[in-house]
Amino acid sequence: MNWKKALIKLAKQKRGIIGLEAAIILIAFVIIAATFSFMVVNQGLFATERGKTAIQEGLHQASTPLCVDGTVFVKTGLGGTNITNVVIPLRAYGVKYVAMWQNETVVTLKVGADAWANIYHGVNTTDPTDASLDTLAAAVPAGEAQLFIENSNGDESLESFEKAYLILTFSAAQAAGVREAIIVEIRLEKTAPLTIEFNVPEAMPSDSWGPV
C-alpha cells in the first residue's frame, strides 16, 4: 500500500510541468532574441550598403569623368579680329566610357557678357583621323558644338581608349573679340561639369588656328 501512496503522491506533483513550461518560455525568448538580432544585423547591413551607395553617388556627382587631353585651339576669322571656332581635345578619365548622347550632354557657351544654355548637337560620325581642323570645323553648323571621336567603335560613347574633339562653330552673334573671355562648360548626366575658360589672344594672324 505504501508504494501505491508514493506513486499517487509523485503523480500529483507539478514540478515537472513547471519545468516544462519554463523550458518553453526560455525557447520562446531565444527565438525572439534570434529574430530581433537578425533584424538588427540585416538593418545594419542595409544601412551600410545605402551609406556606401550615397558616398559613391556623391563622389560621382562631385567629379567629372572627362578631362582636357591636349591644347585648346581657336581659329580667327578674316582680319584676325574675332574667333570663329574652338577645338577642345577630350578623353575619358577613370571610367571605361562616357556617354556623350545629345539628350544627356549639355554644352554651355559664354562669350563676354552673353551666354547660350546648350549648343551641343551630339556626336558627328566623321572620323577625325588625318582630317584637318578646317575640315572638321566646316562640318559643324554655325552656333553648334559637335563631338568627333577618333578610333570610334561606332557608338555615341567616349571609350577610355578613344580620343575626342569637341568643336564649336560660332555664329555671328557669338563671335568673340580680342581679349574677350570665353567659357565652355560641358555637363554630363549626374556629374560635375568640366569647365574650360580662356581669353582670346591679343594678336593672331587672319583666318588661322592657334593655341590658347
How far is it, in rounded angstroms, from Cα 88 to Cα 90? 6
Sequence-ordered list of residues with C-beta below 8 angstroms from that of 87, at least 6 positions apart, any chain: 72, 73, 74, 75, 133, 136, 137, 165, 166, 167, 168, 209
The reported pLDDT for the residue numbered 177 is 81
**20 or 156, greater pLDDT:** 156
Lowest mean pLDDT among 17-31, 51-65, 146-160, 195-209: 51-65
Phi–psi pair at 57, nearest 5 degrees: -65, -40
The reported pLDDT for the residue numbered 73 is 93
Contact 105, 86 (CB under 8 A): no
Lowest mean pLDDT among 76-85, 122-131, 143-152: 76-85
Half-sphere exposure of 125 (CA within 13 A, CB side): 3
pTM: 0.69
Of all residues in the chain, what percent carry a pLDDT higher than 90?
Answer: 34
Sequence-ordered list of residues with C-beta below 8 angstroms from that of 117, at least 6 positions apart, any chain: 106, 108
H or E element that contains 195? strand 194-199
The reported pLDDT for the residue numbered 143 is 94
Site of grid cell 567616349: 158
Contact 133, 210 (CB under 8 A): no
- Name the CATH topology of 66-211: Immunoglobulin-like (2.60.40)
The reported pLDDT for the residue numbered 157 is 87
The reported pLDDT for the residue numbered 160 is 85
Reduced to 3 states (helix: H, G, I; strand: E, B; else coil), residue 130 is coil
Site of grid cell 544601412: 47
pLDDT tens-digit readout, 137-177: 999 999 999 999 998 888 888 988 889 999 999 998 888 88
The reported pLDDT for the residue numbered 17 is 55
pLDDT tens-digit readout, 22-41: 666 777 667 776 676 666 66
Question: Hey, what's the cell of 65?
Answer: 569623368
How far is it, in rounded angstroms, from Cα 195 to Cα 183? 7
How far is it, in rounded angstroms, from Cα 32 to Cα 25? 11
DSSP state letter for 102? G
